[in-house]
Structure 1
Amino acid sequence: MTVDEEEAIPLVLAGRPRKASTSSTSSSLSILLEDEEQEVIGTSSQTETIPLRHRSRSPPPNPIVANVVSLEDDSKATTLSFRVFLLGSFLGCTGAAIGQIFFFKSNGIGFNIFLIILVSYPMGKALERLLPNATISLTRRWSFRLNPGPFTLKEHLLIGVLASGASGSSYAGDIVAVQDLYYHRDIGHVGGLLLVLSTQLIGFGLAGMTYSLLVRPTNMVWPSSLVVMTMYNTLHSRSSGMTSFRPPAEDRLLMAKKFRFFSIVFVLITIYQYSSALSDQQPKHVHASPGIGLLLFYSIPTEEFILSIYLSLLSMSYSDTGVGMFSLSFDWAVITSISLQTPFYSSCNYFAGLVFSMWILVPILWYYDFWNYQSFGDNAVSSRLFNSKYEKYDVGAVVKPDLTLDIEKYNQMGPIQLTPYFALYYGIGFAVLTSAITTVILFHSDDIRMAMNARTKASTDAHVEMMEKSYAKVPASWYIMIGSSMTIAPINVVVAYPLQIPVWGQAVDLALVLLLNTL
């Protein structure tokens, strides 16, 4: 073997390696064909060569991608294995159960990709040591090994893909719950399962059909994926290749420093979170999170009228009863890690929209009592529905047994009251949908046209070139089959079960999903 394994750094690639090729050679033990190193098996005139490592000569144009993703790949590294299916299925089922249970909680917990990566790594290394090196034969042609060798980066990544794709909560579960709790309509296990599966799996079909637009082009860089890749590199990276059993001494030292840093941060954040939880036991007038708004209590005036206005404004300043203008939270559950993986310009854009809508527009609406805004009291930023007395609206009282609107009871209860905040939230949401379409047409139509024209052409991107040269593509028919079958399934659900949605309405929903997810 001419490949120096101390210099190979494989890149995670999807798909399966292409079949080994044959070539004519005499007595060589290894050859170099184009820019792909191969190992020769046999010494006869017809020797079989298996690709070992491919290195692209085309540098990636994006420097961030170049610093995170390697330009080398070891195509002999173990990919789909028993460990992948075992750990991926276990973590996926566990995450789906946890995510769906806490989907209905106001302060739920998430089973995100970072937790999956951290948990699956020691589990994979444990299976590497504990599983026997036995071969299980399913049929005469199909068999697999329980322990194919060292736990590789590609196995780890496939576990993350499998588990994270299944561990998220399903928004369709909200439909099933609302039908049962509010309208007392049970669509059954089969109907609920079809509804949930169709809404989840249709996304995979759309993702595959939009691969040439959203993944293959060089300028389609996803910052969140780079963060995930960096974490994989931290756990597996080494100068001698990620698939070997032990890294070199200097890389072991570097990994030890990283794990030491992680351990210190883990201990400190645990102590900090517990201290924040203890602060929640304070009286209600003290904000649960440390906030600079608390300092304003030292200058409260004594006049009753001015005091009421002052306290109302102060209530509006907090995040739980208002717009959070004077709240400065140090709770990581509130901050979240999204800001660490979002580009700075995007974060600034988001924050500017937040300041304009929540810190300027909403207080103006409240000050001028737009739609009797001040009558909502502590529900100023609530998303609930209210009656004319600004109490919770009983939706079940204004519908007939067939779930149609009872006009007489509706007139008795009065019109539904929305907080101006919630109305503004909905209005901005619809504006975002239309602005996304116009933005793509005005600024990215040329990119879409170029991507469409380049679908059948060889890519100049280093990673795409390496991937398409060494690995077979997933057939487009697979995505079409999943997408079409999952399009038919929800139509059958709305026909067979009382979901109050006509077939044409379901067709419009699917068309919007296809359009907006592409944009």
Structure 2
Amino acid sequence: MEKPDTVAAGDPEKSGFSSPLSPVYPNDLEVAQAESHLHHIVQDRIDDPNIDPQIIDKAEEALEVGDKKAEVLLGDELEEDSPYIEVRAAVSNVDDPDMPVNTIRAWLLGLIAVIVPPGVNQLLSLRFPSTTITAYVIIIFVYPIGKFLEKVLPTWKLKTRFGDLTLNPGPFNIKEHSLISIMSLMSSQSAYATYIPAVQRFVYNQNPGVGYGILITLSTQLLGLSFACFMRRFLVYPASMIYPVNLPKATLLNSLHGWDTSAGTHKGMSRYKFFWIFFAIVFCWQFFPGYIFTMLSQGNWFCLIAPDNVPLNQVFGASSLGLLPLTLDWQTISYAQDPLASPWWAEANMLGGFALFFLVVVPAMYYTNTWNQKFLPMFSSATFDRFGNKYDVTKVTQTIANGGFVFSPEGYNSYSQQYIPTALAVSYWLSFAATTGVVTHVALFHGKSIWRQFRTPIHAEMDVHTRLMLRYKETPYWCYFALFAAAFGMGIAAIYNWFTDMPWWAFVIAILFGAFFILPIGVVLALSNQEVGLNMISELVIGYMLPGRPIAMMIFKTTMYMVCYQGLQFVSDQKLAHYMKVPPRSVFAAQVFATSVGAIVQILVQEWAFNNIQDVCTDAAQHSNKFTCASMYVFGTASKVWGLIGPRAMFDAGKQYNHLLYGFLIGALAPIPVWFLSKRFPKSIWRLINMPVIFTATGNIPPATGMMYTAVGVWGFVFQFLIKRYRSVWWTKYNYILSAALNGGSTIATVVIFFALQFPKGPNREFYNSGWWGNTAWQNTADANNTPYWQVPEGGFEGTPAELGRTI
């Protein structure tokens, strides 16, 4: 495939930068610059678990010997390409600044990408079981459509004062494709805030209307972007912020458009051919675990030995510990994280955390009946009452005149306290520990480099990609400030023009909390692919700050969580644009456009579904169209548990789960000894121990289960450790494109299976549900039924809060 002329980072005539060819006799300035660069690499080794130890050894050797020529040669090598083999394998180190980006064709396809997939995903989110059209699906489908438009659109030009306009500026190029991909990444997921008006309608008997939903959704979605400008210096420009999640996407885009990467040009099959072969294989294979033989997906083979043996099912089952992950479904394997994208050191930390907390602590607590947990399932995201049933919040609430609810202490004291399953209790503790641990860890391990980045100009320490991006204008700060003002105004308008019981100062606190965590969580995310979630801490804060206000709780939680999560999503996508050399101003416009249109589409589709689908969000839907809104009701139950009953019922002094709050203290202290040991032994394994990753990597448990982490460990060990170490040439060329093929092929097949075979009523659906042994055997086990170890005695396993002396 012929490419347009490209500009390498070191081209002295075209780029304005010094030549990459080191002189035989380097001058003093070049030596000083090289030594400064190498000193930073050596000093920052404990900050950067992804750096190649061989590079550090070469830098130390050159500095110790005082070999100026070797110093300059190594410095030039590091300047002309990324020092990270992962980035060299996935990202091209050349650019074509004349390649068109903001074409009519790109924005037309982008508009389709931010209307159709978000609308379909929002509709499917109301159904259980469901599926999702991911960004990989859009990236793959856009490519042939773009190539088709390249052939059929007219090439005539219209001259305007702003330049020439044309429907067809030439070949459908990688920057257009990248811009469309970024739009799809910003809008494909269902917006978290859409749950708020849905819960108010179906749980609290309020109907705030479309305007409220649009305002609250746009506000929470866009607030994060307004903080992204302040994070670019720390989370986008530095070469060390690699964002492993973006590498398969970058590899896919480069491969589809025939762009080479410096570490991926070895002999053998082209990446383009490799991708389509494995895409086809995975697409066809997915029909077996996804429809024909679903036992291949569940993988609880050992449970069939004794289907009613609860301990056996809990140890080897798909819904519990999943000790032997015999699943062959890539959708299940990659549910928690992509094992071919995350670095091995992060996956090893994840496995260490899983082994310690879920293979040791959870069974120890469960089988010793700590907090009566033998009467509950080992793994579940629900809370239970003293009868072993899911907690019935209607028994502890009273309906008031406006149709809302208030907490009833009398009802609570005579009914039951809340009991949480073992895995959920441990997950709470880990969430608390991760929240404080990430702040301490980043302050100790990355504080010096962050302070240096804050004080020094951006141009001081640049890798090739940052240097290439200097030719493009940055988005002015006033754009971000204007966006913040607009998003903040929409949030205030929503909470004061509709009944929310949310004071303005609580809204401000939610924003400040979320913004505070963007940097520390972003650093860990960029290095490890692991993000510390703020769900639990946000519920805890608002539960104590404004007890008895469930709607305020939902808005506070969503705002605090989304300011951080969505802000980091914006930053991550800006890093992808950084890799693909898409101008920052185009990226900003695309992100605002995609987020705004996608959010409006999702609210409108949701409102249409509520008004037009029969039995939507009711129990009757389970037997008709399955639009039961299960996720919405989980969100609504959380609003009652944390907003009405409040955390004081579980975590106040003297309450059963009070000791879980020690997670905050232990999390804050845990990184300190690791940091001291890594400073004392800088070349040891201690520099790879990351306590926030250990605490948060298993954060999806529950609803995720042990199998989804042990499977990641197996695949990660094979590809990210064994193959990367012993077959590095193959790994650099094919690892990330294989990841893209696995994700794309399995996801598209899952979408086809859902719409063609599972969704329509008829024999195909019946075969999927109960067609033969391979689709039913796994369902007839204690594992599938989430059976607890002990049966609850008549009258409950404990007394009421009044009888236990735990009243509110």
Post-superposition Cα deviations, 1:330-369, rounded to whole Å, max 9, x if no partner, equal 2111002611110000011112111222221111111011
**1 CA distance for matches of 2:440 and 2:193?**
29
Structure 2 residue aligned with 1:323: 321
With normalisation by structure 2, the TM-score equals 0.51
Matched, 1:293 2:293: no
**1 CA distance for matches of 2:364 and 2:452?**
46
Map 1:46-445 to 2 at 5 A. 58-64=79-85, 65-104=87-126, 108-135=130-157, 144-238=165-259, 257-278=270-291, 289-294=298-303, 296-297=305-306, 311-336=309-334, 338-376=338-376, 379-397=377-395, 398-401=397-400, 402-445=404-447
- Kindly indicate whether the alpha-carbon contact (under 8 Å) linking 1:388 and 1:414 is maintained by their aligned counterparts in 2: yes
State the Cα distance separating 1:222 from its structure 2 match. Answer: 1.5
Q: 1:34 to 1:391 in 2, by over 3 A?
A: closer
Matched, 1:508 2:513: no
- Kindly indicate whether the alpha-carbon contact (under 8 Å) linking 1:120 and 1:156 is maintained by their aligned counterparts in 2: yes
- Kindly indicate whether the alpha-carbon contact (under 8 Å) linking 1:276 and 1:331 is maintained by their aligned counterparts in 2: yes
- Kindly indicate whether the alpha-carbon contact (under 8 Å) linking 1:116 and 1:164 is maintained by their aligned counterparts in 2: no
| SS of residue in 1 equivalent to 2:418 | coil
Post-superposition Cα deviations, 1:105-156, rounded to whole Å, max 9, x if no partner, equal 565433333222211111111111111124468x865762111111111111
Moved more, 379-388 or 471-480: 379-388
**2 CA distance for matches of 1:296 and 1:224?**
39
Q: 1:345 to 1:313 in 2, by over 3 A?
A: same
State the Cα distance separating 1:392 from its structure 2 match. Answer: 2.2
- Kindly indicate whether the alpha-carbon contact (under 8 Å) linking 1:317 and 1:323 is maintained by their aligned counterparts in 2: yes
State the Cα distance separating 1:513 from its structure 2 match. Answer: 0.9
Amino acid at match of 2:285: Y
**1 CA distance for matches of 2:272 and 2:222?**
37
- Kindly indicate whether the alpha-carbon contact (under 8 Å) linking 1:382 and 1:422 is maintained by their aligned counterparts in 2: yes
Tell me how many residue pairs correspond in the alignment: 449
**2 CA distance for matches of 1:112 and 1:101?**
14
Structure 2 residue aligned with 1:25: none
**1 CA distance for matches of 2:518 and 2:210?**
28
Post-superposition Cα deviations, 1:204-246, rounded to whole Å, max 9, x if no partner, equal 2122221111111232222222222111111112579xxxxxx
**2 CA distance for matches of 1:71 and 1:281?**
43
Backbone CA RMSD of aligned residues: 3.2
| SS of residue in 1 equivalent to 2:449 | helix
Amino acid at match of 2:431: G
**2 CA distance for matches of 1:122 and 1:93?**
19
State the Cα distance separating 1:443 from its structure 2 match. Answer: 1.2
Q: 1:454 to 1:431 in 2, by over 3 A?
A: same
Higher radius of gyration, 1 or 2: 1
Amino acid at match of 2:494: V
- Kindly indicate whether the alpha-carbon contact (under 8 Å) linking 2:297 and 2:329 is maintained by their aligned counterparts in 1: no
With normalisation by structure 1, the TM-score equals 0.78
| SS of residue in 2 equivalent to 1:339 | coil
- Kindly indicate whether the alpha-carbon contact (under 8 Å) linking 1:11 and 1:71 is maintained by their aligned counterparts in 2: yes
Q: 1:230 to 1:192 in 2, by over 3 A?
A: same
- Kindly indicate whether the alpha-carbon contact (under 8 Å) linking 2:223 and 2:488 is maintained by their aligned counterparts in 1: yes
**2 CA distance for matches of 1:219 and 1:439?**
16
Matched, 1:499 2:487: no
Amino acid at match of 2:499: P
Q: 1:472 to 1:449 in 2, by over 3 A?
A: same
Q: 1:416 to 1:501 in 2, by over 3 A?
A: farther
**2 CA distance for matches of 1:201 and 1:386?**
36
**2 CA distance for matches of 1:58 and 1:262?**
30
- Kindly indicate whether the alpha-carbon contact (under 8 Å) linking 2:297 and 2:328 is maintained by their aligned counterparts in 1: no
Structure 2 residue aligned with 1:45: none
Post-superposition Cα deviations, 1:55-84, rounded to whole Å, max 9, x if no partner, equal 999323514234433332221111110111
| SS of residue in 2 equivalent to 1:144 | strand
Moved more, 261-270 or 159-168: 261-270
Structure 1 residue aligned with 2:649: none
Give the structure with the higher percent helix: 2
**1 CA distance for matches of 2:323 and 2:189?**
32
Q: 1:267 to 1:161 in 2, by over 3 A?
A: closer
**2 CA distance for matches of 1:478 and 1:213?**
19
Can you give the 5+ residue segments of structure 1 that lack an aligned partner in the other structure? 13-30, 38-54, 241-250, 301-307
Q: 1:262 to 1:465 in 2, by over 3 A?
A: closer
| SS of residue in 1 equivalent to 2:237 | coil
**1 CA distance for matches of 2:202 and 2:413?**
24
Moved more, 127-136 or 198-207: 127-136
**1 CA distance for matches of 2:78 and 2:364?**
58
| SS of residue in 1 equivalent to 2:340 | helix
**2 CA distance for matches of 1:205 and 1:82?**
26
Q: 1:339 to 1:106 in 2, by over 3 A?
A: farther
Structure 1 residue aligned with 2:681: none
- Kindly indicate whether the alpha-carbon contact (under 8 Å) linking 2:105 and 2:167 is maintained by their aligned counterparts in 1: yes
Moved more, 410-419 or 106-115: 106-115
**2 CA distance for matches of 1:424 and 1:34?**
55
- Kindly indicate whether the alpha-carbon contact (under 8 Å) linking 2:223 and 2:483 is maintained by their aligned counterparts in 1: yes
**2 CA distance for matches of 1:215 and 1:71?**
16
**2 CA distance for matches of 1:259 and 1:136?**
35
Amino acid at match of 2:433: A
Identity %: 26
- Kindly indicate whether the alpha-carbon contact (under 8 Å) linking 2:155 and 2:167 is maintained by their aligned counterparts in 1: yes
| SS of residue in 1 equivalent to 2:354 | helix
State the Cα distance separating 1:465 from its structure 2 match. Answer: 1.8
State the Cα distance separating 1:456 from its structure 2 match. Answer: 5.4
- Kindly indicate whether the alpha-carbon contact (under 8 Å) linking 2:373 and 2:422 is maintained by their aligned counterparts in 1: yes
**1 CA distance for matches of 2:109 and 2:434?**
39
State the Cα distance separating 1:278 from its structure 2 match. Answer: 4.9
| SS of residue in 1 equivalent to 2:95 | strand
State the Cα distance separating 1:514 from its structure 2 match. Answer: 0.4
Give the structure with the higher percent strand: 1
Structure 2 residue aligned with 1:484: 485
**Does 1 or 2 have the higher relative contact order (CA < 8 Å, sep 6+)?**
2
| SS of residue in 2 equivalent to 1:498 | coil
Amino acid at match of 2:233: S
Q: 1:220 to 1:260 in 2, by over 3 A?
A: closer
- Kindly indicate whether the alpha-carbon contact (under 8 Å) linking 1:202 and 1:486 is maintained by their aligned counterparts in 2: yes
| SS of residue in 2 equivalent to 1:380 | coil
Moved more, 430-439 or 474-483: 474-483
